[in-house]
């Protein structure tokens, strides 16, 4: 099928759907009307879009963990614990890595081995293998909205199954679940595959069922400049809107400097709304998600709580609709349910203490918002230009030409020339912009801030700053000072 940013016709969609539902036996259980009837019975307090909308209206920030284990009953026990003991406002099911690579046979083995071992031997919930039956059992056992969180380049079958199971939100996108997650999956294919996933949500929306879509904001989660993650978020939001998605949560991964992080969220909302309006999507319900620090964590659990609380405070002061919670086990691996619950409780304590507070506007905050919007505009204007006005085609070409370039991404389709480093206040700046089409003023501004740090540290602006910054938070500081 030719790639273009155009809503799929029913003929296109249902032709592809036949192939999708045959990828694994559990796909055959799905009937659109039966699924729609089931979704129509989802009570309001378990609908993701409605809960986000309410939070936005009330001006509060919701807390959502990540969580997933191999077996259905253990997964229910985990989610119930995070709901009741942790106080989660929204629930995930973090999907395992085999499912993310469509390796369902290995999931089957993982499930059997987990049953034998009496513990989870998969790093998440194998939603495709458990099918609608297993996913509905999970959904019916909890009392909160449920979302699939994963990292799946081809999530078409997973999307069909989770939505047919009452899960009213799906994370991901054709860029954000490819470039940071895969090595050699073509962007053209994943943009097409995620148009399918968005179309599933669009069809349910046209049947009167509210489905939330959340592009994956943080990308590689490693010193990603706000203009890069905001550009990808807005692109995936526009692509989803074209397929009929109405309820969209755009996200951003914490970088650590308060002014820059608050500016990133404010710029994201303002600019996304500008683009939705400019392209005729006038009925989008837009919310935001702030991801607590996605980089290396301190192994010491008390220090980890410092990072978790700082991310919670920033999310609240930014006015984000939702914050994604980390745990004190982040540095070691999959958290126990107790550790996961502790992360949620620390997060909610901070959110509650800051309820109603926002970072006041200042000339620094205003300048940072303007800078991020100007940088993002440079990128998006070029994406539309190289695509001759077509956003999907433009996105593929933009990555080919390094116009869009995500730091430290594994994908061979990503230029990987961009180099970020922190300035003296810890804001992420750009040391090497590669082929990203910033204006000279913007490039000079970043350079001057990095040189200011160099003078302070008594060293040249160089790659060593990047390395030092990558390890800094794990070592207990934000800016990687020379040792
Ligand atoms: C982009 C997502 C990375 C984060 O996703 C967490 N994560 C992954 N898998 C699970 C799981 N099965 N349970 C709880 N957290 C999980 C990692 O810790 C990391 O922070």
Q: What are the pLDDT digits (tens) for 424-435?
A: 999 999 999 999
Tell if the pTM clears 0.90, that is, is over it.
yes
Tell me which long-range contacts 310-315 makes (C-beta under 8 A, separation of at least 24). Answer: 310/254, 310/256, 311/254, 311/347, 312/63, 312/346, 312/347, 312/348, 312/350, 312/351, 312/354, 313/350, 313/354, 314/254, 314/258, 314/261, 314/262, 314/290, 315/61, 315/254, 315/290, 315/351
The Å distance, Cα 356 to ligand 1 centre, comes to 29
The Å distance, Cα 330 to ligand 1 centre, comes to 8
pLDDT surpasses 90 at 269: yes
The Å distance, Cα 207 to ligand 1 centre, comes to 33
pLDDT surpasses 90 at 136: yes
The Å distance, Cα 284 to ligand 1 centre, comes to 29
Give dist(CA 237, CA 246) in Å, integer: 10
The Å distance, Cα 324 to ligand 1 centre, comes to 10
In eight-state DSSP terms, residue 289 is E
Atom from ligand 1 closest to the CA of residue 335: 14
Contact yes or no for 343/323 (Cβ under 8 A): no
> Which residue's CA lies nearest to atom 14 of ligand 1?
67
The Å distance, Cα 340 to ligand 1 centre, comes to 10
Check if 330 has its Cβ closer than 6 Å to any atom of ligand 1.
yes
Contact yes or no for 173/218 (Cβ under 8 A): no
Q: What is the pLDDT of residue 465?
A: 98
Q: What are the pLDDT digits (tens) for 153-168?
A: 999 999 999 999 999 9
Is 113 an active-site residue?
no
Check if 335 has its Cβ closer than 6 Å to any atom of ligand 1.
yes
Q: What mean pLDDT value characterizes the chain?
A: 98
Give dist(CA 133, CA 143) in Å, integer: 18
The mean pLDDT value for 217-243 works out to 98
Collapsing DSSP states into helix, strand and coil, what is residue 11?
helix
Q: What is the pLDDT of residue 165?
A: 98
Pairing relation of β-strands 419-422 and 428-432? antiparallel
CA dist 171 → 34, 122, 196 (Å): 23, 20, 14
The Å distance, Cα 66 to ligand 1 centre, comes to 6
pLDDT surpasses 90 at 315: yes
pLDDT surpasses 90 at 29: no
Check if 295 has its Cβ closer than 6 Å to any atom of ligand 1.
no
The catalytically annotated residue of 66, 100, 156, 266 is 100
Predicted confidence band at 480 (pLDDT cuts at 50, 70, 90)?
very high
> Which residue's CA lies nearest to atom 18 of ligand 1?
330
- Quote the ipTM score: 0.99
Is 85 an active-site residue?
no
Atom from ligand 1 closest to the CA of residue 294: 20
Q: What is the pLDDT of residue 412?
A: 98
Contact yes or no for 446/430 (Cβ under 8 A): yes
Closest of 173, 236, 244 to residue 205, by C-alpha = 244
Cβ partners under 8 Å of residue 299, min gap 6: 331, 332, 474
* Other beta carbons within 10 Å of 354: 16
Q: What are the pLDDT digits (tens) for 410-424?
A: 999 999 999 999 999
> Which residue's CA lies nearest to atom 19 of ligand 1?
330
Give dist(CA 334, CA 39) in Å, integer: 31
Cβ partners under 8 Å of residue 252, min gap 6: 217, 218, 226, 229, 230, 233, 261, 264, 265, 268, 288, 289, 290, 291
Predicted confidence band at 119 (pLDDT cuts at 50, 70, 90)?
very high
Best residue among 65, 74, 94 to mutate for probing ligand 1's pocket (most ligand atoms within 8 Å of CB) is 94
The mean pLDDT value for 342-357 works out to 98
Predicted confidence band at 311 (pLDDT cuts at 50, 70, 90)?
very high
pLDDT surpasses 90 at 170: yes
Check if 336 has its Cβ closer than 6 Å to any atom of ligand 1.
no
Predicted confidence band at 379 (pLDDT cuts at 50, 70, 90)?
very high
Check if 334 has its Cβ closer than 6 Å to any atom of ligand 1.
yes
Q: What are the pLDDT digits (tens) for 38-76?
A: 999 999 999 999 999 999 999 999 999 999 999 999 999
- Between helix 391-400 and helix 187-206 the angle, nearest 10°, is 150
Q: What is the pLDDT of residue 434?
A: 98
Check if 217 has its Cβ closer than 6 Å to any atom of ligand 1.
no
Cβ partners under 8 Å of residue 454, min gap 6: 460, 461, 465
> Which residue's CA lies nearest to atom 11 of ligand 1?
67
Residue 19 CA to chain centroid, in angstroms? 27
Contact yes or no for 318/353 (Cβ under 8 A): no
Best residue among 65, 66, 323, 342 to mutate for probing ligand 1's pocket (most ligand atoms within 8 Å of CB) is 66
The catalytically annotated residue of 17, 66, 171, 236 is 171
Radius of gyration of the chain (CA): 21
DSSP alpha helix (H) spans, 26-154? 32-40, 48-58, 72-84, 97-100, 104-117, 127-141
For the chain, the first-to-last Cα distance in angstroms comes to 54
């Amino acid at each position: 099928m030719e790639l273009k940013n155009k809503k799929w016709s029913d003929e296109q969609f249902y032709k592809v759907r036949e192939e999708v539902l045959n990828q694994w036996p559990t796909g055959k259980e799905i009937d659109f009307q039966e699924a729609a009837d089931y979704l129509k019975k989802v009570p309001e307090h378990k609908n993701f879009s409605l809960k986000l909308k309410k939070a936005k209206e009330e001006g509060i920030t919701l807390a959502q963990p990540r969580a997933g284990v191999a077996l259905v009953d253990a997964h229910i026990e985990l989610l119930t614990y995070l709901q009741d003991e942790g106080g989660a406002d929204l629930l995930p099911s973090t999907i395992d890595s085999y499912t993310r690579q469509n390796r369902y046979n290995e999931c089957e083995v993982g499930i059997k081995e987990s049953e034998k071992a009496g513990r989870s031997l998969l790093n998440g919930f194998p939603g495709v293998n458990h099918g609608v039956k297993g996913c509905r059992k999970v959904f019916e056992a909890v009392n909160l909205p449920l979302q699939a969180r994963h990292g799946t380049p081809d999530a078409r079958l997973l999307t069909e199954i989770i939505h047919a199971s009452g899960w009213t939100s799906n994370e991901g996108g054709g860029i954000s679940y490819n470039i940071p997650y895969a090595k050699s999956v073509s962007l053209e294919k994943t943009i097409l595959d995620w148009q399918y996933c968005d179309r599933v949500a669009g069809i349910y929306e046209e049947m009167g069922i509210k489905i939330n879509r959340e592009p994956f904001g943080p990308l590689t989660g490693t010193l990603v400049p706000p203009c890069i993650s905001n550009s990808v978020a807005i692109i995936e939001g526009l692509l989803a809107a074209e397929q009929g998605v109405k309820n969209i949560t755009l996200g951003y991964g914490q970088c650590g400097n308060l002014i820059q992080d608050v500016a990133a969220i404010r710029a994201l909302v303002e600019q996304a709304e500008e683009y939705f309006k400019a392209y005729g999507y006038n009925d989008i319900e837009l919310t935001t998600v702030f991801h607590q620090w996605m980089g290396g964590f301190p192994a010491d659990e008390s220090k980890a709580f410092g990072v978790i609380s700082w991310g919670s405070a920033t999310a609240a002061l930014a006015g984000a609709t939702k914050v994604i919670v980390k745990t004190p086990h982040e540095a070691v691996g999959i958290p126990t349910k107790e550790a996961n619950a502790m992360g949620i409780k620390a997060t909610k304590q901070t959110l509650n203490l800051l309820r109603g507070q926002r970072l006041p506007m200042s000339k620094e905050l205003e300048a940072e918002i303007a800078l991020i919007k100007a940088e993002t505009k440079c990128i998006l204007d070029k994406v539309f230009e190289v695509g001759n006005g077509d956003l999907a085609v433009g996105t593929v070409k933009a990555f080919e030409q390094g116009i869009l370039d995500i730091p430290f991404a594994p994908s061979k389709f990503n230029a990987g020339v961009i180099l970020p480093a922190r300035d003296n206040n810890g804001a992420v700046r750009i040391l090497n912009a590669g082929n990203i089409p910033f204006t000279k003023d913007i490039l000079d501004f970043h350079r001057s801030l990095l040189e200011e740090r160099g003078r302070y540290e008594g060293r040249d602006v160089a790659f060593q700053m990047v390395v030092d910054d990558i390890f800094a938070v794990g070592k207990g500081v934000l800016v990687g000072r020379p040792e």
